[in-house]
Chains A and B, each alone.
Chain A
Amino acid sequence: MSKKYHITTTVNGDDYEYLCEAQQTLLDVLRDELMLAGTKEGCATGDCGACTVMVDGTMVCSCLVLAVETDGAKVDTIEGMANGNELHPLQRKFLELNGSQCGICTPGILIAARALLERNPDPTETEIRYWLAGNLCRCTGYDKIIRSVQAAAREMRGA
């Protein structure tokens, strides 16, 4: 039997304890063990950003992190973005302005966009495009994504 590692972590503020094997990625554990399937797998090779989550405040591809590395870490995923039934402004604007079509890229883009707006509440279009360069979308052509992020940023600034 393979060796199992005992991991203690918080995900979206909730405490979790689980067992995993050394080669299991954080993405696999989130989706298959913790049943948090909001985080998506597009490529599993770090190229698409669909699996973007925050680990200890750093934006990462969860397919490029081993679950064993997150023992004691604080993980934030898309499931923690809305406040109960109240959507985050980014989520609302993506709905209103069609920033999401098939939705596979959306959780990763929302997590990345939130990280951007926390650092920079008033990013230019170019800054948004560069920040989201690691998040690929096959549907929207990006324009609606950019407009959704700008609209949310405006609302969050109270402008």
Chain B
Amino acid sequence: MDVRYEAPETLQAAVALLAGATGPAKILAGGTDVIVQMETDLIEPSLLVDIKKIPELRQIAFENGGFRIGAAVPGMDIMGHKALAKAWPGVLDGVKLIGSIQVRGRASIGGNLCNGSPAADSVPPLIAAGAIARIIGSKGTREVPVEQIPVGPGKTSLASDEIIASFFLPARAPHSGDAYQRFTPRTEMDIAVVGVGVNLTLDKGGTCTAARVALGAVAPTVLLSKECADALIGSKVDDVALEKLAAAASAACRPIDDKRGTKEYRIKVAGVLAKRTAQQALEVARKS
């Protein structure tokens, strides 16, 4: 196997390399999935395009009251960003659960998303947050909601010459909060049996005016559930609303049986975890 490695310094150069590839090409960000897949012969790329030398992919910047996070920023850098932690604690909780500290020294949210795992921990909170991915390809730039990127396990809607450059997290309305919780048998170094991201906004009286709920590891892709959101919107996120949310979360699941849990188990846990996560998001919103 002869692999060619390139580390372009601009997005245009990276896209040109991908567009001109004659064999299988792979984008290399933190490499914590790609290198394992190469080592275990799951993939045999003939071209690796390392995007970490492209400055805009390595930055976290304020933009229109929100944040733009470069797709290749390592998890540890995201976790160390104080303003981001304050505005989007749920997104940071998702990032915090990706692998070990060693892994987060390299792993990025762009990679976590493009690896296409339905159990990827940063994806439900990003979807709940309404994050928009900026995608650059030979045909130009497109802005795509994160939930439209995974299309199945290991598969994304990106064309072969497209790269996710960054994610935009919008400005926060007052009294907004987000949270991410996952259920795993171990506290660390594990893969979600179920993961739930909740993002909600309250009005002055404490009524929920907007909500987004994303469910991980319970379907071939992370799900954005309108039914779950509808259970919360218009309520005070009281017990009745939380029960409706739990029922909607369980109903939305299309899980598989695997060594981490059976279908029935995942369906039950999804409901319980959705409630807990919504309560946590509610606490954050009340304090903001």
Contacts and interface: CB of A to CB of B under 8 A. Distances in A.
Contacts, number: 85
A31 to B, nearest CB: 15
Interface in A122-159: 130-131, 133-135
Contacts of A130: 188
Interface in A69-84: 69
A22 interface: yes
Chain A's interface size range is: 20 to 34
A58 B50 contact: no
Interface stretch (B101-109, B130-138, B195-203): B101-109
B3 A22 contact: yes
B102 A22 contact: no
B54 to A, nearest CB: 14
B105 A25 contact: no
Contacts of B76: 58
Main SS class of interface, A: mixed
A68 interface: yes
Contacts of A21: 3
Contacts of A45: 36, 39-40
A150 to B, nearest CB: 19
Contacts of A60: 102, 105-106
B32 interface: yes
Chain B's interface size range is: 20 to 34
Contacts of A131: 101
A85 interface: no
Contacts of B188: 130, 133-134
B83 interface: no
A44 B36 CA distance: 8
B5 A133 contact: no
Contacts of A66: 5, 28, 31, 35, 48
B236 to A, nearest CB: 35
A158 B164 CA distance: 49
Given A45-B39, A68-B50, A69-B31, 14 more contacts: A5-B5, A22-B3, A23-B1, A44-B39, A45-B40, A46-B100, A46-B102, A59-B102, A59-B105, A60-B106, A66-B31, A69-B50, A112-B102, A133-B100
23 contacts: A3-B4, A5-B5, A22-B3, A22-B48, A44-B39, A45-B40, A46-B36, A46-B99, A46-B102, A47-B189, A58-B76, A59-B102, A61-B100, A61-B103, A64-B30, A64-B36, A65-B31, A68-B5, A69-B7, A112-B101, A133-B101, A133-B187, A134-B188
Interface of A: 2-3, 5, 21-23, 25, 44-47, 49, 52, 58-61, 63-66, 68-69, 112, 130-131, 133-135
Lowest 3 CB-CB distances: which A-B pairs, in order?
A: A134-B100, A133-B188, A22-B5
